[in-house]
Amino acid sequence: MDQQPVPAICLTAGVRPQSDMSKELLMLPIHTILHPTDFSTPSKSAFDLACAVARDYDARLVVVHVKPPQMMGGEVHALITTPEEVDRELRGELDKFQPHDASTKIERVLKEGDAGTEILRTAKEISSDVIVMGTHGRTGLSRLFMGSVAEAVSRKAHCPVLTVKHPFLETSSGEPAA
């Protein structure tokens, strides 16, 4: 993966309502970030943002991919390769996710099952403080038929969920656009 500058954001929990200083912000404590990936372009953009947040907060980054449950006899893929070969291939894809800053603490996890359910379960297991994930931005009938993992996770997660739809645009100088 390219090593390009990534825009950083300041995540805050909001303004303290009982404070005399109405502008006093509370920083959202971020120690663990979960980044679910389906290896898509929006997911890779979300990974870049997750890396930037992990770097800025000195947080642990956990990258998870959820493979669908094995189907009995219905999958051509299953006829060609063994489940172990599929797992090895997916772990290889996960290993390609390298943070831009070598000091970022990163873990990679492969799960099997329903994507939304496993992402939510993993978020609780690791006590994630924020989930940073890509979204395809489907609407209308395609969303109705395909569902939205990002929407399901956003609705049910115990922590904030930051979704990223498109790759970050860059200026001619190579810097991220504001």
pTM of the entire structure?
A: 0.75
Q: What is the pLDDT of residue 116?
A: 93
- Report which of residues 81 and 75 the model is more confident about: 81
Fold of 53-140+149-169: Rossmann fold (3.40.50)
Which residues neighbour 97 within 8 Å (Cβ) at sequence distance 6 or greater? Answer: 1, 37, 47, 63, 106, 108
pLDDT band with cut points at 50, 70 and 90 for residue 96: very high
Burial track 56-93 (b if 16+ CB lie within 10 A, e otherwise): ebebbbbbbbbbeeeeeeeeeeeeeeeeeebeeebeee
pLDDT tens for residues 51-61?
Answer: 999 999 999 99
Q: Say how far apart CA 136 and CA 151 lie, in whole Å.
A: 11
More confident residue, 22 or 50: 50
Domain map (residue ranges) of the chain: 53-140+149-169
pLDDT tens-digit map of 123-136: 999 999 999 998 87
User: What mean pLDDT is predicted for residues 104-129?
Assistant: 96
